[in-house]
Amino acid sequence: MARSKLGDRKSRHDRFHKNARKKGFNSRAVFKLEEIDSKAKLIGKGHRVLDLGCAPGSWLQYAATKTGTSGSLVGIDRFEVDLGLPNGRTLIGNVYTVEIEDLLGDLDNFDVVLSDMAPDTTGVRSVDQTRSEQLFERALDIADATLTANGAFLGKLFQGPEFQALIKRCRRDFAKVKIIKPEGSRKESIEQYICATGYRGQPTQEES
């Protein structure tokens, strides 16, 4: 790749990063959620929000601005996140092994489940896609176990061989499903976001 292009990309990245910091957010990832939420209106006042893969914390910080102090925020990541949010609780853990009760704590369910989880990339596209699809599927399982009726789900996904099957599952479980590539997402990144609203409730055994 030409040196100037690399330089352009780096400076764009730095701009997004600096802008996020200036606005008090821990990561440029905030702009992706902000863009999606401004259209889909996922997070509202008083909502209970679960954020899977929440480090370094910008999605939770953004969610807090939308829920206000009457809402509740729960996050989990393999790395520690301490945001000092009065209505927030973060767990250090792995989504594959965490107990659902530990995510819920005192809450009965969540209004919104977010997942910006990404695997540690290997550079081998098929491996990274499969790991991302597994994380997305786990996020959907957690949403199925914790979402309230009519709740919303937003999950990051690297499109791979299971993509259509995962979208089919989303369409079965939610009234409306959109596949989004936000402007804040790097063009060269294979990530997409699946925005699903109108949760229909837990699937019966025959449906699942």
Ligand X SMILES: C[S@@+](CC[C@H](N)C(=O)[O-])C[C@H]1O[C@@H](n2cnc3c(N)ncnc32)[C@H](O)[C@@H]1O
* Catalytic positions: 156
| Contacting positions for ligand X (CB under 6 A) | 26-27, 29-30, 53-59, 76-79, 94-96, 116-118, 135
Six-digit token string for 28: 């440029």
Give the type of residue at 84: G
How near is the Cβ of 14 to ligand X at its closest, in Å?
Answer: 17
Give me the long-range contacts of 97-104 (CB less than 8 A, separation at least 24). 100/142, 100/145, 100/146, 103/50, 103/74, 103/76, 103/142, 103/146, 104/74, 104/146
> Closest Cα partner for 117 from 88, 75, 151?
75
Question: CA-CA distance, 54 to 56, in Å (whole number)?
Answer: 6
How near is the Cβ of 201 to ligand X at its closest, in Å?
Answer: 26
Identify which of residues 137 and 162 has a Cβ nearer to ligand X in the complex.
137
Give the type of residue at 88: G
> Closest Cα partner for 144 from 120, 175, 177, 110?
110
Identify which of residues 59 and 158 has a Cβ nearer to ligand X in the complex.
59
Tokens 């863009």 map to which residue?
Answer: 35
How near is the Cβ of 189 to ligand X at its closest, in Å?
Answer: 11
For residue 193, what are the contacts with CB-CB under 8 A and spacing of at least 6?
Answer: 32, 36, 154, 155, 156, 157, 179, 180, 181, 182, 185
How near is the Cβ of 200 to ligand X at its closest, in Å?
Answer: 26
CA 138 → CA 11, 80, 97, 100, distances in Å? 35, 20, 10, 12
Which residue number has the CB closest to ligand X?
Answer: 53
How near is the Cβ of 120 to ligand X at its closest, in Å?
Answer: 7
Identify which of residues 75 and 151 has a Cβ nearer to ligand X in the complex.
75
Identify which of residues 59 and 174 has a Cβ nearer to ligand X in the complex.
59
CA 92 and chain centroid, separation: 16
Identify which of residues 30 and 196 has a Cβ nearer to ligand X in the complex.
30
